[in-house]
Chain A
Amino acid sequence: MTRKQRRLVLIGSGLVVLAVAVALMLNALRDSIVFFNSPSDVVEKHVPAGTRIRLGGLVKDGSVVRGSNLSVRFEVTDGKNGIPVNYQGVLPDLFREGQGVVAEGALDPGGTFRADSILAKHDETYMPKEVADALKRSGHWKDDYGRQAGASAGGGGK
């Protein structure tokens, strides 16, 4: 092989790998990203049933009902709108009424959110960032959330 051919092989194989990688990434970005929504987003944007989303807000006080076999039902609210959530499994350490929560799953046709995971991204005072932003937008942000978040300076989970 001449120098030129060798260089062509090198550059050509580099471009092929790069093209494959770009195709893989575009494909994966189309299929596997999950949007974050507050309850108001869900209502206003008419998120269709079956679409995987993350739902974030506060666990409404007094809404947690535990059923048999670790099933639990609660309402996620941002002060304006509320979405009922069903989940079966072990709740994270800091799941509490009145605290921020992020649930991942999809709406069923009846309008209930079926969560397959509840994210444990907060400690006793910390508010998940997405939830804090959503609450600020809906005007239900209380200043003490922010103060606490600043003071505790740390997140749970990973």
Chain B
Amino acid sequence: MIAELGHYALMLALGLALIQGTMPIVGTRTNDPVLMSIAVPTALAQFAFVATAFTALAICYVISDFSVLNVFENSNSQMPFIYRLTSIWGNHEGSMILWVSILTFFGALVAVFGNNLPAVLKANALAVQAWIAAAFHLFILMTSNPFVRIPQAPFEGQDLNPILQDPGLAFHPPLLYLGYVGFSIAFSFAIAALLEGRIDAAWARWVRPWVLGAWMCLTVGIAGGSYWAYYTLGWGGFWFWDPVENASLMPWLAGTALLHSAVVMEKRGALKIWTILLAILTFSLSLIGTFLVRSGVLTSVHTFANDPMRGVFILAILVVFIGGALALYGWRAPLLKQGGLFAPISREGALVFNNLFLTTACASVFIGTLYPLALEALTGAKISVGPPFFNATFGPLFIPLTVVMPLGPLLGWKRGDLLGAAQRLLAAAILAMLAMAAAFAIEQGGPVLAPFCAGVAVIVMAGAVTDIAERTLVLRLPFRVALRRAIGLPRSAWGTAFAHFGVGVTLLGIVAATAWGSERIAEMKVGDNLDIARYRITFTGLFGRQGPNYHDIVGRFIVRRVNGDLIGVMEPSRRTFPTRNMTTTEAALMTRGVSQLYVSLGDPLQNGNVAVRLYFKPQVLLIWLGAALMFAGGALSLSDRRLRVGAPQPAKTKAALHSAG
């Protein structure tokens, strides 16, 4: 009964989406305010019905209703409650329900908070949002219905894929989807602007909070996925350049570019057409990501099922939306009024530099990800494009970006003073040089690249601090005055500084963990010692442990300093899930400051010994700490009064002149 209710609600949502996608547009053409205003109640009702469908599916999972095929295939009554709940989206059908839930949620938010939008723009944007929703409702109903019943209900479910039985599943997919789908708002507004044939600086002001919110969620979603892979896959890697990871990185890069170009558009009225294109591309990359991950063209833990029909359907959605949007862009964009030009050395110029490098870096990831698929489709040759490709392309394109990053906020709008900005960065540059020299000395003649990148990371961090110091004049004015200035700074200036600082922190973590980490792989018998960095682990034996729906074989290791001081115990395990007869590796992590010791077990060998992988990952936690700082920066910027006071204001208020955006 509950499943049927959910199914029915989803069908009604499709009907509402069709109304919301057509009537308001007719209204904008006939200048009928009543037809235009239909968008608001339909958007709200559509969200209500999709939320009903999601709740219905959630109830089926919570009460373990195995007469529903989707629940039977992905849940088990022995599973802890939290995993029964998260397994809603631990499968293809459920994850698509989550996708449309978030999509219609955003649609409803625009409907509720869009009171100050021009009526035509709002009607068009909500209509475009409804087309996307309609396409995905149809996709779910036709190929991925989660509410299908089994005629004779089995007594017990098949369990969730053990790799997904992890707290990470509670956060990673919803955050990632909030990011992907959040960009749909920018897309809808871009299409609406093209339909209307009119665009101005206020457009950027309305769209930027949505882009910022989506970007924040995507940032922590990607970081969360990276940490999850790091501790769950058992060999200590945090980024693999795997196509499914790239699928999330591409919208992030394009979204970061969009975030910055929208600043130029809002402040200076320039880059309008480019910003529209970026808005289209960012959501297109989100759709491509969904296609890559969900269609089964790639095999990975993210691919839940390979029904060819689904791949074809998503491909059709891709072609219609991306092709349609780009065609509309090609047709209408030349009609839009061109924005102003500016001097190359200026804040705008720095932001263009940022856009140029972010989009080319994004293109290099795109080619590396899709080239193997294209080659296989055309010639049948199977190749893999791995980390060496991305290190040789993405790296050289990303480093110049980070070198210039501290300069941008120090340059003025319109015409900047490069020499002055460079002088103000002198302290930061000296600090970076010292860090480089120190890293090189400690490394004792290793690769030169790592100390250089560490230096770049330091200048990014020091540059962000310099920016705030310059704005508050903390070194020139009495501390109390500077403090008052700091409080008075626009939140967006703090946001920029936090986010940029976070990029430096993440970069430092990546450099340290990859270049200066160490690894030991050994076969150990009881009593054996293994040394790594300043630590020594001793294997004291194996024991069994029973979990709610699994059995662990745990290895016990005592961790000491090399000089003998006891630090603690690490207990990695091999976890067997009887329902699927599947074993996973549960690594043990010990945090020392921001560095980590990492132990994982291989298959127990016949002679009672264990194969052990031991890693020391210096500064590894900085990678994810940096992402948290970027999120905090986004949140600060989002809380800026300027963005909440939605009504377009004259561009040259005092706040606008001072803010960095």
Q: Does A153 contact B (CB under 8 A)?
A: yes
Asked whether A121 lies within 8 Å of B299 as measured between CB atoms, the reply is yes
Report if A154-B367 is in contact (Cβ < 8 Å); known contacts: A10-B344, A93-B585. no
Specify which chain B residues have a CB less than 8 angstroms from the CB of A33 in the assembled complex.
Answer: 372, 383-385, 389
Within the assembled complex, what's the spacing in Å between the Cα atoms of A141 and B429? Answer: 61
- Shortest CB-to-CB span from B532 to chain A, Å, is 16
The residue in B352, B384, B606 that gathers the most chain A C-beta atoms within 10 A of its C-beta is B384
Q: Does B603 contact A (CB under 8 A)?
A: yes
- Shortest CB-to-CB span from A106 to chain B, Å, is 14
A78-97 interface code vs B (CB 8 A; 1 in, 0 out)? 00000000000111011100
Within the assembled complex, what's the spacing in Å between the Cα atoms of A89 and B344? Answer: 54
Within the assembled complex, what's the spacing in Å between the Cα atoms of A126 and B161? Answer: 12
Within the assembled complex, what's the spacing in Å between the Cα atoms of A42 and B559? Answer: 46
Specify which chain B residues have a CB less than 8 angstroms from the CB of A69 in the assembled complex.
Answer: 522-523
| Interface 9-mer from B215-223, B356-364, B646-654 | B356-364
- Shortest CB-to-CB span from A62 to chain B, Å, is 15
Asked whether B360 lies within 8 Å of A124 as measured between CB atoms, the reply is no
Report if A10-B382 is in contact (Cβ < 8 Å); known contacts: A17-B357, A150-B306, A158-B301. no
The residue in A13, A68, A89, A123 that gathers the most chain B C-beta atoms within 10 A of its C-beta is A123
Within the assembled complex, what's the spacing in Å between the Cα atoms of A25 and B523? Answer: 41
Specify which chain A residues have a CB less than 8 angstroms from the CB of B385 in the assembled complex.
Answer: 29, 32-33
Asked whether B344 lies within 8 Å of A6 as measured between CB atoms, the reply is yes
Within the assembled complex, what's the spacing in Å between the Cα atoms of A146 and B188? Answer: 41
| Interface 9-mer from B80-88, B433-441, B534-542, B576-584 | B576-584
Q: Does A70 contact B (CB under 8 A)?
A: yes
Within the assembled complex, what's the spacing in Å between the Cα atoms of A45 and B363? Answer: 33
Report if A154-B161 is in contact (Cβ < 8 Å); known contacts: A25-B393, A35-B383, A66-B605. yes
Q: Does B371 contact A (CB under 8 A)?
A: yes
Asked whether B580 lies within 8 Å of A124 as measured between CB atoms, the reply is yes
Q: Does A129 contact B (CB under 8 A)?
A: yes
Neighbour of A156 across the interface among B301, B304, B581, CB < 8 A: B301
- Interface size, B (range): 35 or more
Specify which chain A residues have a CB less than 8 angstroms from the CB of B343 in the assembled complex.
Answer: 1, 6
- Shortest CB-to-CB span from A150 to chain B, Å, is 7
Q: Does A43 contact B (CB under 8 A)?
A: no
A1-38 interface code vs B (CB 8 A; 1 in, 0 out)? 10100110110011001101100110111011111100
Q: Does A155 contact B (CB under 8 A)?
A: yes
Specify which chain A residues have a CB less than 8 angstroms from the CB of B584 in the assembled complex.
Answer: 93
Within the assembled complex, what's the spacing in Å between the Cα atoms of A36 and B375? Answer: 12
Specify which chain B residues have a CB less than 8 angstroms from the CB of A20 in the assembled complex.
Answer: 396-397
Specify which chain B residues have a CB less than 8 angstroms from the CB of A121 in the assembled complex.
Answer: 299-300
- Shortest CB-to-CB span from A97 to chain B, Å, is 13
A43-76 interface code vs B (CB 8 A; 1 in, 0 out)? 0000000000010000000000010111000000
Specify which chain A residues have a CB less than 8 angstroms from the CB of B360 in the assembled complex.
Answer: 17-18, 21
Asked whether A36 lies within 8 Å of B382 as measured between CB atoms, the reply is yes
Asked whether A7 lies within 8 Å of B386 as measured between CB atoms, the reply is no
Asked whether A90 lies within 8 Å of B611 as measured between CB atoms, the reply is yes
Asked whether A35 lies within 8 Å of B581 as measured between CB atoms, the reply is no
Neighbour of A158 across the interface among B242, B304, B583, CB < 8 A: B242
Within the assembled complex, what's the spacing in Å between the Cα atoms of A128 and B306? Answer: 13
Q: Does A157 contact B (CB under 8 A)?
A: yes
Asked whether A155 lies within 8 Å of B611 as measured between CB atoms, the reply is no
Asked whether A154 lies within 8 Å of B393 as measured between CB atoms, the reply is no
Q: Does B312 contact A (CB under 8 A)?
A: no
Interface residue ranges of B136-153 to A (CB < 8 Å): none
Asked whether A32 lies within 8 Å of B389 as measured between CB atoms, the reply is yes
Specify which chain A residues have a CB less than 8 angstroms from the CB of B605 in the assembled complex.
Answer: 66
Report if A25-B364 is in contact (Cβ < 8 Å); known contacts: A157-B301, A158-B229. yes
Q: Does B469 contact A (CB under 8 A)?
A: no
The residue in B304, B353, B386 that gathers the most chain A C-beta atoms within 10 A of its C-beta is B386
Within the assembled complex, what's the spacing in Å between the Cα atoms of A19 and B381? Answer: 27
Within the assembled complex, what's the spacing in Å between the Cα atoms of A36 and B606? Answer: 33
The chain A residue sitting closest to B361, CB to CB, is A21
Asked whether A21 lies within 8 Å of B521 as measured between CB atoms, the reply is no
Asked whether B356 lies within 8 Å of A70 as measured between CB atoms, the reply is no
Specify which chain A residues have a CB less than 8 angstroms from the CB of B574 in the assembled complex.
Answer: 93
Neighbour of B300 across the interface among A10, A28, A95, A157, CB < 8 A: A157
- Shortest CB-to-CB span from B121 to chain A, Å, is 29
- Shortest CB-to-CB span from A93 to chain B, Å, is 5
Asked whether A13 lies within 8 Å of B356 as measured between CB atoms, the reply is yes
- Shortest CB-to-CB span from A18 to chain B, Å, is 6
Asked whether B583 lies within 8 Å of A93 as measured between CB atoms, the reply is yes
Report if A24-B341 is in contact (Cβ < 8 Å); known contacts: A124-B582, A157-B233. no
Asked whether B341 lies within 8 Å of A3 as measured between CB atoms, the reply is yes
Report if A90-B384 is in contact (Cβ < 8 Å); known contacts: A124-B582, A158-B300. no
- Shortest CB-to-CB span from B74 to chain A, Å, is 9
Asked whether B389 lies within 8 Å of A28 as measured between CB atoms, the reply is yes
Asked whether B603 lies within 8 Å of A91 as measured between CB atoms, the reply is yes
Asked whether A90 lies within 8 Å of B352 as measured between CB atoms, the reply is no
Asked whether A17 lies within 8 Å of B356 as measured between CB atoms, the reply is yes
List 25 interface pairs A-B (beta carbons < 8 Å), by A numbering: A3-B341, A6-B341, A6-B343, A13-B353, A17-B356, A18-B360, A25-B393, A28-B389, A29-B389, A33-B385, A33-B389, A34-B383, A35-B382, A54-B384, A68-B523, A69-B523, A70-B522, A70-B602, A90-B612, A90-B613, A91-B603, A93-B584, A95-B603, A153-B306, A154-B161
**Given pairs A36-B384, A158-B242, 20 additional interface contacts (CB within 8 A):** A3-B341, A10-B341, A17-B357, A21-B364, A24-B393, A24-B396, A27-B392, A33-B372, A66-B605, A70-B611, A90-B602, A90-B612, A93-B234, A121-B300, A123-B582, A150-B306, A153-B304, A155-B299, A157-B301, A158-B229
The 6 A-B residue pairs with the shortest CB-CB distance, nearest first, are A32-B388, A90-B602, A36-B382, A28-B392, A153-B305, A21-B360
Measuring CB to CB, which residues of chain A are less than 8 angstroms from any residue of chain B?
A: 1, 3, 6-7, 9-10, 13-14, 17-18, 20-21, 24-25, 27-29, 31-36, 54, 66, 68-70, 89-91, 93-95, 104, 120-121, 123-124, 126, 128-130, 133, 150, 153-158
